[in-house]
Amino acid sequence: MYGLSPEEQVIEILQSQKIDLTAVLPCDRLKRLLPLITYKFSTIKLTREENGIGICAGCYLGGGRPVMVIQSTGLGNMLNALLSLNTVYQIPLPIIASWRGVYKEKIPAQLPLGQVLPGILDASKIKYTIVGSSNELDLLDHVLTDAYEMHRPHIALILPSVWEGSNCPPPPEPEAISPGRTVLRLSTQTKSPTISRYQAIESIISVIDDEIIVSNIGVPSKELYHIKDRALNFYMLGSMGLASSIGLGLALTQNRHVVVIDGDGSLLMNPNILTQIAVHSPDNLTIAAINNATYGSTGDQQTLTHSHIDLELMARGHGILSTAKVHTKDELLDVYEKYRHNPGPLFMDIIVKPKSESVADIPLSLLEIRERFIHSVKSA
């Protein structure tokens, strides 16, 4: 890679590894690299690091090869998702992290996490490789190869010294905010629920053909398995808040329709994903938000949708244009059939009773869930 800037070397490595999706959040030390990434690769501009975990997992499950490019501080936000999704399901994820807090750092807030980060990753048994100079950038190729061959997260901790003396052009000047006018019209009414979550899922399954389904953690996944187990069902057993993120990653990778059975508690934990869904607007994505106003898998503690937050309004406010609130089986089926082939994603706020059916655990290991899902997606 003689004559290439460090940033250009990174691009060549990513291209040689056939990376087809990048999920990024900026760092000042990466300001010359990120424009090149955005130009060369399909790029998700994240608003929160955990979303990148879910989106990249969905992309991989759908047959893609993603990578995350972030600041190392974001790793502190990502630990649970890396462990409860990537590690336990053995879903590979290479991460290029600008390592702050250890080299010529002028921001005191970067020091506490940056200086102990290797110890945190060691304790979490998350693989990492330190890249200390531009002469060591070939280690990045090893990071990506290892992540995909060993089916695990692998983090490249890139010290700022790597970019010193770079002749890469500076980033372009930022553009001013685009002038525009936003009009939000939504007339909606929440009525008393008439169906349970189990009945809502049962209704969805009754019209499913070859759609991919991602189901939220805990009881919803167990209910879906009990109603109709399919190889195209991806049952989440951890990483709460990432069901719709995984669904978005799948929808961006696959041509077939993706249905996410999400929940009010999960979406309130991670409303940022609604922005990503609106920005990328995949036609083949439906979010079925099962809204029982409780955390149904942890003892039915009430969520804020009980009295304060309208999920349909939240989705519309984030920019999703096709939304509906449904209260009965017939309404659910009518809305899904009406919108499933329309342009843009669909968000259904499905009002259900705060009640869980008594169903058994899913008798599949996490690796069995992953393997048969990937095989089914590839073979269909």
Which tokens go with 226? Answer: 């009990």
pLDDT given for residue 295 in this prediction: 76
What are the tens digits of pLDDT across the range 20-48?
A: 999 999 999 999 999 999 999 999 999 99
Name which residue leads in pLDDT, 380 or 178.
Answer: 178
Mean of pLDDT values over 277-295: 92
Residue 1 lies in a domain: no
Q: Does residue 211 sit in the same domain as residue 152?
A: no
Q: Does residue 275 sit in the same domain as residue 137?
A: no
Which tokens go with 255? Answer: 């041509």
d(CA 201, CA 355): 13
Q: What is the DSSP secondary-structure string of 99-143?
A: --SSSS---GGGHHHHHHHHHHHHHHT-EEEEE-SGGGTHHHHHH
Mean pLDDT lowest among 118-127, 157-166, 177-186: 177-186
What are the tens digits of pLDDT across the range 192-223?
A: 999 999 999 999 999 999 999 999 998 999 99
Assess whether pLDDT exceeds 70 at residue 249.
Answer: yes
CA 358 to chain centre: 29
β-pairing verdict for 322-326 and 21-24: unpaired
What are the tens digits of pLDDT across the range 50-106?
A: 999 999 999 999 999 999 999 999 999 999 999 999 999 999 999 999 999 999 999
Residue 329's domain comprises 197-379
Inter-CA distances, 50 with 22, 133, 162, 245, 280, Å:
14, 28, 26, 9, 17
Of residues 234, 240, 322, 327, the one with CA closest to residue 284: 322
The total number of structural domains in the chain stands at: 2
Half-sphere exposure of 210 (CA within 13 A, CB side): 8
Mean of pLDDT values over 179-183: 87
Q: What is the pTM of this model?
A: 0.95
Q: Does residue 225 sit in the same domain as residue 346?
A: yes
CATH number at residue 98: 3.40.50.970
d(CA 264, CA 243): 11
Residues counted in the chain: 380
| DSSP state at residue 293 | S
| DSSP state at residue 115 | H
Assess whether pLDDT exceeds 90 at residue 358.
Answer: no
Based on its alpha-carbon atoms, the radius of gyration of the chain, rounded to whole angstroms, reads 21
Q: Does residue 219 sit in the same domain as residue 84?
A: no
Q: Does residue 153 sit in the same domain as residue 207?
A: no
d(CA 304, CA 300): 12
Q: Does residue 229 sit in the same domain as residue 362?
A: yes
Residue 192 lies in a domain: no
> Crossing angle of helices 243-253/49-61, nearest 10°?
50
Assess whether pLDDT exceeds 80 at residue 342.
Answer: no
Q: Does residue 209 sit in the same domain as residue 349?
A: yes
Q: Does residue 212 sit in the same domain as residue 152?
A: no
Percentage of residues of the chain with pLDDT beyond 90: 82
Residue 188 lies in a domain: no
